[in-house]
């Protein structure tokens, strides 16, 4: 009786191995036949009950069946593994003799593109482009701009202070101070660069962003000169008419001071996260240079006057390109940046 069981086990298991279409199916058939609790193990438990002669004969048959099944299992397993390797190689094959794809050309960041465009515009108008350090002294960042230690305007800017008494500049205005002290009057200059403020990050605020400030110092400079250059700038950047408004603003380094706002180009004035639902975006704080600022930089305010403005390059880029979240500009996501 055990003879018949062993022969049936050989036949059915070889058939199961042959019909297996995956390593998982092959392994399942092996466990059923050859596993610790498989059919062959159950038959082996009955051999001890046989007579000595029958034990020898059935034992030889049992070993023969086990050897045949293990041999066929290993052969079928190797075929599966070779097939899988061949399929993987066909998918991952690389012809190393082919020429390389070449270097993918890089792109300038949208803020850099905008900055270079504005620099070209103001260069054509006779303005010098000046740069200054990002780690500044308190004297350049505040004192020389008519913001003494007790002045409430210091609370308007959340500053990153360093351990040695220096700070990360909160605006590019210190470059105006350096420009006036080094070059004197008359002076036409712009100062682009990165600035830092300890602010909560949201759709319209970042702790690190870019500004571009400008200044003109000459005789008989008026608000009319300021408005002319601001309109020239906006028409050049947006390549279309934009709605602006000029309202009084307070800045210690200008007098009088103004806020030049632009109607939000993201929502067309309807209200969104960028404009804080107001329909307007603060874009160009500006005004006539305060006499104290001129005086502290060695320029006689009785002889010379001037105007100054500060432009948020980051916000201007958002308006120009329709970017609704300032954080995208700092994220370094190439999928986003390669659109520009």
- The pLDDT, as a whole number, for residue 175 is 95
Give the count of alpha carbons within 13 A of 1, CB side only: 6
Strands 167-168 and 128-129: unpaired
Q: Is the pLDDT of residue 155 over 90?
A: no
List b or e across 201-233, with b for residues whose CB sees 16 or more CB atoms inside 10 angstroms: eebbebebbbbbbbbbbeeebeeebbbebbeeb
Task: Give mean pLDDT, residues 273-292.
Answer: 86
Band (pLDDT 50/70/90 cuts) for residue 340 is confident
pLDDT of res. 306? 94
Give the residue with greater pLDDT, 245 vs 144: 144
* pLDDT single digits (tens) 52-72: 788 788 778 888 888 888 888
First to last CA, the chain: 82
Considering Cα of 18, then 20, then 23, then 28, what sign does the dihedral take? negative
Give me the pLDDT at residue 270, please: 86
Q: Pick 155 or 39 by higher pLDDT.
A: 39
Inform me whether the pLDDT recorded for 128 exceeds 90. yes
Stretch 147-163: mean pLDDT = 76
319-338 per-position pLDDT tens digit: 788 888 888 888 888 888 88
Q: What is the mean pLDDT of the chain?
A: 84
Radius of gyration for the alpha carbons in the chain, expressed in angstroms and rounded: 40
Residue 87, pLDDT above cutoff 80:
no
**pLDDT beyond 70 at 156:** no
Greater confidence (96 vs 171) lies with 171
Answer whether residue 86 shows pLDDT above 70. no
Strand order in the sheet with 280-289: 128-129, 187-196, 208-218, 305-312, 280-289, 254-263, 244-248
Q: How far, in whole angstroms, is CA 215 from its chain's centroid? A: 32
| Residues contacting residue 289 through CB under 8 Å, at least 6 positions apart | 215, 217, 253, 254, 305, 306, 307, 308
What does the pLDDT look like over 94-106, one tens digit per residue? Answer: 777 877 777 777 7
Question: CB within 8 A of 180, min separation 6: which ones?
Answer: 187, 215, 217, 294, 297, 298, 299
pLDDT greater at residue 261 or residue 241: 261
Rounded distance, CA 173 to CA 253, Å?
9
pLDDT digits (tens, 9 = 90+) for 206-240: 888 899 999 999 999 998 898 888 888 887 887 77
pLDDT band at 271 (very low <50, low <70, confident <90, very high): confident
How many beta carbons lie within 10 A of that of residue 35, not counting itself? 13
| From 101-105, 193-197, 278-282, 300-304, the region with the lowest mean pLDDT | 101-105
Nearest partner of 183 among 129, 102, 240, judged by Cα: 129
Predicted model pTM: 0.63
Residue 151: pLDDT above 90? Answer: no
């Amino acid at each position: 009786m055990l003879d018949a069981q062993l022969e049936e086990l050989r036949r059915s298991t070889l058939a199961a191995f042959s019909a297996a279409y995956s390593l998982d199916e092959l392994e399942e058939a092996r466990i059923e036949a050859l596993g610790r609790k498989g059919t062959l193990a159950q038959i082996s438990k009955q051999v001890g009950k046989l007579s000595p002669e029958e034990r020898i004969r059935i034992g030889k048959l049992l070993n023969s069946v086990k050897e045949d099944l293990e041999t066929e299992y290993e052969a079928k397993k190797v075929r599966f593994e070779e097939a899988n390797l061949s399929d993987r190689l066909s998918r991952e094959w690389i012809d190393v003799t082919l020429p390389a794809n070449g270097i993918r050309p890089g792109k300038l960041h949208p803020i850099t593109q905008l900055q270079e465009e504005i620099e070209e515009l103001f260069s054509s108008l006779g303005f010098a482009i000046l740069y200054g350090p990002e780690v500044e002294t308190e004297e350049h960042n505040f004192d020389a701009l008519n913001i003494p230690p007790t002045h409430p305007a210091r609370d308007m800017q959340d500053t990153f202070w360093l351990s040695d008494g220096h700070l990360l500049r909160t605006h590019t205005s210190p470059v105006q101070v350096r420009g006036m002290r080094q070059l004197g009057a008359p002076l036409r200059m712009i100062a682009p660069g990165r600035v830092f403020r300890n602010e909560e990050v949201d759709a319209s605020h970042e702790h690190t962003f870019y500004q571009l400030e400008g200044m003109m110092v000459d005789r008989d400079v008026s608000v009319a000169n300021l408005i002319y250059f601001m309109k020239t700038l906006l028409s050049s950047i947006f390549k279309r008419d934009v709605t602006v408004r000029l309202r009084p603003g307070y800045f210690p380094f200008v007098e009088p001071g103004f806020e030049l706002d632009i109607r939000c180009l993201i929502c067309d004035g309807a209200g969104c996260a960028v404009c804080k639902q107001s329909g307007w975006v603060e874009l160009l704080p500006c005004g006539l240079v305060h006499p104290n600022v001129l005086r502290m930089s060695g320029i006689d305010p009785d002889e010379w006057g001037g105007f100054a403005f500060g432009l948020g390059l980051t916000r201007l880029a958002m308006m120009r390109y329709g970017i609704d979240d300032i954080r995208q500009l700092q994220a370094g996501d190439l999928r986003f940046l390669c659109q520009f």
